[in-house]
A and B are shown apart, each in its own frame.
Chain A
Amino acid sequence: MIDVMIIVNGETRCASVAPETTLLALLRDHFGLTGTKIGCDVGDCGACTVIVDDQPVDACLMLAAQADGRRVLTIEGVASKDKLHPLQKAFEESGALQCGFCGPGIILSAKALLDQNPAPTRHEIRDALAGNLCRCTGYAKIVDAVSEVARVYRSEQSRG
């Protein structure tokens, strides 16, 4: 067994896991954070996207041991106590999700993008979301929602 300590959504958490345990299994099975979804489990679909030290990664392709000592943000840590994150709000308002299974991963990919680049072009948004598959909506509304949040960010910034 391997002892790991990771900072999940701001909270330090420890577990003793089998060496082959993925970060995805650690989050879901050991920490009960089931907002991170299991899709393809081989890094194609992005349903398990979480942010590790400011970078979006597929939790299914990272061992729990690789994440030892790192900061991990999951969908459970995106909203503040009483308020949805602007991305979540925009997804809700523009109907960007249907079944919702891809949603947590897409929100985290989009958040990582906007944190690094608050004014992405539509092309940059599509590129940042290329690793997240949605089988319901066809992506247009998803890209619309992210664009809308970026537009609000920009106008807030220009107002100072």
Chain B
Amino acid sequence: MLLAKHGRSAKILAGGTDLLADLKFATQVPDLVIDISRARDLSGIAVTDGGLRIGALVTHSELIASPLIRDMFPALVDAAHSIGAVQTRNVGTLGGNLMTCLPSMDSGPTLLALDARVTAASASGRREFALADLFVGPRKTSLGADELLLDIVIPTQNFGKPAGFQKFGLRKGQALALANAAAIFWMDQSTGRFVEPRIALGAVAPTVIRAPRAEAYLRGRSVTLEAMVEAGRIAATEAKPISDFRASAGYRCDLIAVLVKRALQDALALAQAKQPEAAA
């Protein structure tokens, strides 16, 4: 395998929207760029035994257009739609967005909150692990130099779990997130309480992170607006943002409180929309 031979001196090109932009400013150019954009095994969106499998090379536009994704996880459509603009979404891939591993990636929070798993392969074999363990730091993943990301799988037990995604950027298009957030929970139909709530935050830590204290606060609590507001407030204390030319750390924390509340409201709206269906 080419990667085994060249390791870190080779770069993988999936869609190229990040890689080519980076290379234009790079002081060191890779010895080899491996274009995998036409590897058909890495494309496609399908329900498999393990869950909903999304090939690493699925583009953001393909995610947006997929009836499966639209039906099961509209939050993933919202996230994909918030990336770049049409031109970059047509070429940029889900796997590429995860592997570039910017803290502000828009694909990360919803998938992280859905307990997504990923598969990586090298010449010596495959391994499957939690998406959470892929993220190491800004532009740093846990994949070895000889490994390639193959796919992302959302486990079957989370099919239909109501999810919301919210992003705040300085413009509606072509803007990195100053902060983004995903919120996901089941609502117990008889008691109206939060079950297995998950909250994930982007652009406010070295990687996309979960907000475990906010999740713990919601678990078993009645689904109310007050609880959502409080969860947002707690999540803001779990964010560890930096101040940079885009926004100050304090502003980002304020954003997280609002975005988490809104993402929870989006998830609730979905949960309520699904209720009559379940009753019938």
Residues of chain A having any CB pair with chain B under 8 Å: 19-20, 22, 41-44, 46, 49, 55-58, 60-63, 65-66, 109, 112, 127-128, 130-132
B16 on the A face (CB < 8 A): yes
Q: Smallest CB-CB separation from A59: which chain B residue?
A: B87
- Which chain A residues border B37 with CB–CB below 8 Å? 66
Apart from A43-B21, A130-B173, 13 more pairs, CB < 8 Å:
A42-B21, A43-B17, A43-B20, A43-B84, A43-B88, A57-B91, A63-B16, A65-B35, A66-B35, A130-B85, A130-B86, A131-B85, A131-B174
CA distance A66 to B21 in the complex (A): 15
- Which chain A residues border B29 with CB–CB below 8 Å? 20
Contact of B172 among A42, A44, A109, A130 (CB under 8 A): A130
- Which chain A residues border B21 with CB–CB below 8 Å? 42-43, 61
B33 on the A face (CB < 8 A): yes
Interface string of B109-137 (1 = CB under 8 A from A): 00000000000000000000000000000
Give residues 80-102 of B contacting A (CB, 8 Å): 84-88, 90-91
- Which chain A residues border B84 with CB–CB below 8 Å? 43, 131
The answer to whether A63 touches B13, judged by C-beta atoms less than 8 angstroms apart, is yes
Instruction: Report the minimum CB–CB distance from B236 to chain A (whole Å).
Output: 29
Instruction: Report the minimum CB–CB distance from A36 to chain B (whole Å).
Output: 13
The answer to whether B16 touches A46, judged by C-beta atoms less than 8 angstroms apart, is no
B23 on the A face (CB < 8 A): yes
Q: List 23 A-B contacts (CB under 8 A).
A: A42-B24, A43-B17, A43-B87, A43-B88, A46-B85, A46-B87, A55-B90, A56-B86, A56-B87, A57-B91, A61-B17, A61-B21, A61-B88, A62-B16, A62-B91, A63-B13, A63-B16, A66-B37, A130-B85, A130-B173, A130-B174, A131-B173, A132-B85
Interface string of B46-73 (1 = CB under 8 A from A): 0000000000000001000000000000
Instruction: Report the minimum CB–CB distance from B245 to chain A (whole Å).
Output: 16
* Chain A interface, DSSP helix/strand/loop, else mixed: mixed
The answer to whether A20 touches B23, judged by C-beta atoms less than 8 angstroms apart, is yes
The answer to whether B87 touches A57, judged by C-beta atoms less than 8 angstroms apart, is yes
- The 9 lowest CB-CB distance pairs between A and B, nearest first, are A131-B85, A130-B173, A55-B90, A42-B21, A58-B87, A131-B87, A130-B85, A61-B20, A61-B17
Instruction: Report the minimum CB–CB distance from A122 to chain B (whole Å).
Output: 14
CA distance A59 to B21 in the complex (A): 12
Q: Smallest CB-CB separation from B173: which chain A residue?
A: A130
CA distance A58 to B85 in the complex (A): 10
Contact of A56 among B13, B35, B90, B173 (CB under 8 A): B90
Instruction: Report the minimum CB–CB distance from A133 to chain B (whole Å).
Output: 8
CA distance A41 to B20 in the complex (A): 10
- Which chain B residues border A127 with CB–CB below 8 Å? 86, 173
Instruction: Report the minimum CB–CB distance from B96 to chain A (whole Å).
Output: 12
Instruction: Report the minimum CB–CB distance from B106 to chain A (whole Å).
Output: 15
- Which chain A residues border B87 with CB–CB below 8 Å? 43, 46, 49, 56-58, 61, 109, 131
CA distance A65 to B32 in the complex (A): 14
Q: Smallest CB-CB separation from B17: which chain A residue?
A: A61
Instruction: Report the minimum CB–CB distance from B133 to chain A (whole Å).
Output: 30
CA distance A56 to B90 in the complex (A): 7
Q: Smallest CB-CB separation from B25: which chain A residue?
A: A42
Q: Smallest CB-CB separation from A46: which chain B residue?
A: B87
CA distance A58 to B15 in the complex (A): 11
- Which chain B residues border A60 with CB–CB below 8 Å? 20
The answer to whether B20 touches A109, judged by C-beta atoms less than 8 angstroms apart, is no
Q: Smallest CB-CB separation from A49: which chain B residue?
A: B87
CA distance A109 to B61 in the complex (A): 14
Instruction: Report the minimum CB–CB distance from A75 to chain B (whole Å).
Output: 15
Which of the listed residues B13, B61, B174 has the most CB atoms from chain A within 10 Å of its own CB? B174
Task: Say yes or no: A41-B85 contact (C-beta < 8 A), given A61-B91, A130-B172.
Answer: no
CA distance A22 to B33 in the complex (A): 13
CA distance A58 to B86 in the complex (A): 9
The answer to whether A41 touches B24, judged by C-beta atoms less than 8 angstroms apart, is yes
Q: Smallest CB-CB separation from A60: which chain B residue?
A: B20
Instruction: Report the minimum CB–CB distance from A132 to chain B (whole Å).
Output: 8
